[in-house]
């Protein structure tokens, strides 16, 4: 199946809607630990303001919930079409916000780094091992509780 996301990126690159200069600026404001993001052709800035959505007085701010859902949909759809999308929290939010003119009341909650699966020889040992290993997830019992918050004892 042809990839819509890849096609879209290529069209936008051709139209110069994706600026190499701005992409390079974002990359320059990532920590060394995000070296793997340097090959990405597209980094998506995910931002929202708490005022854009329902705010309840028991600390429920739905803007972050909603933007998280949108990010997850994007990540899943990217994986379906080909590119891999990694959300990251390691970046300089204030510097990047200022550069892109994101208003102060907006939260730059994550960057989504898009990349194509390919040669992994530039990855460090730890990341290369992670790339090819299975994922360890918490057990169902640890994350789902029935009828009360009290966790069932193991064994």
Ligand X SMILES: Cc1cc2nc3c(=O)[nH]c(=O)nc-3n(C[C@H](O)[C@H](O)[C@H](O)COP(=O)(O)O)c2cc1C
User: In the set 18, 23, 88, 108, which binds ligand X (CB under 6 A)?
Assistant: 88
Point out which residues pair with 29 in neighbouring strands. Answer: none
Structure tokens at 114: 């898009």
Residue pair 90/31 in contact by the 8 Å Cβ criterion: yes
We find the least distance from the C-beta atom of residue 116 to ligand X, in angstroms, to be 15
Q: Which is nearer to ligand X, 59 or 126 (CB)?
A: 126
Tokens representing 55?
């705010």
Task: Please identify, using beta-carbon distances, which residue of 5 and 40 lies nearer to ligand X.
Answer: 40
Place of tokens 């009828």: 147
Least gap, CB of 11 to ligand X (angstroms) = 26
**Residue 86 in the binding site for ligand X (CB under 6 A):** yes
Is 50 exposed, middle or buried (CB count within 10 Å of its CB: 0-12, 13-18, 19+)?
middle
Among 23, 29, 82, 87, binds ligand X (CB under 6 A): 87
138 binding ligand X? (CB under 6 A): no
Which of 41, 53, 54 is CA-nearest to residue 84? Answer: 41
Whole-number Å distance between alpha carbons of 40 and 70: 20
87 vs 93, which CB is nearer to ligand X?
A: 87
Q: Which CB, 9 or 40, lies closer to ligand X?
A: 40
89 binds ligand X (CB under 6 A): yes
135 binds ligand X (CB under 6 A): yes
Question: Beta partners for 9?
Answer: none
Spell out the residues 6+ positions from residue 152 whose beta carbon is closer than 8 angstroms to its own. Answer: 141, 145
Establish if 117 lies at the interface with ligand X (CB under 6 A): no
Does position 23 interact with ligand X (CB under 6 A)? The reply is: no
Sites of contact with ligand X (CB under 6 A): 33-34, 86-90, 110, 135
């Amino acid at each position: 199946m042809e990839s819509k996301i890849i096609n879209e990126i290529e069209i936008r690159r051709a139209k110069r809607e994706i600026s190499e200069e701005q992409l390079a600026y974002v990359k320059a404001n990532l920590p060394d630990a995000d070296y793997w993001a340097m090959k990405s052709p597209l980094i998506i800035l995910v931002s929202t303001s708490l005022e854009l959505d329902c705010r309840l007085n028991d600390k429920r701010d739905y803007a972050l919930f909603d933007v998280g859902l949108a990010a997850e949909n994007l990540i899943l759809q990217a994986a379906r079409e080909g590119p891999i999308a990694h959300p990251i929290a390691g970046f300089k939010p204030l510097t990047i916000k200022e550069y892109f003119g994101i208003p102060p009341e907006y939260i730059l909650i994550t960057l989504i780094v898009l990349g194509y699966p390919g040669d992994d020889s530039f990855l460090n040992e730890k990341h290369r091992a992670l790339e090819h290993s299975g994922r360890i997830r918490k057990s169902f019992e640890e994350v789902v509780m029935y009828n009360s918050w009290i966790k069932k004892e193991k064994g």
